[in-house]
Amino acid sequence: MREATKRRATRRAGEFLREYALLIAVFYPLDVYLQSKGLTGGEVVTTLVISGTLWTVGVVLDVFSADD
């Protein structure tokens, strides 16, 4: 695999993870709200940890795939 192809694939994976993190952060609490239930503190923390981890990994992948 060529270096440019690896960089492009890594960048796309980073973009995907960042977008996925945003979808989790927005739509999970919205889904719970629309079911007329409240978010517990544990659910809020878990949502933030999962979204934050995915977003961070996405940014790291994007940074490492950047052209120098």
So what's the pLDDT on residue 60? 94
**Distance of alpha carbon 53 from alpha carbon 24, whole angstroms:** 11
So what's the pLDDT on residue 65? 85
Enter the pTM of the model.
0.82
- Over residues 18-24, mean pLDDT: 95
**Distance of alpha carbon 15 from alpha carbon 62, whole angstroms:** 7
- Over residues 23-44, mean pLDDT: 92
pLDDT tier at 38, thresholds 50, 70, 90: confident
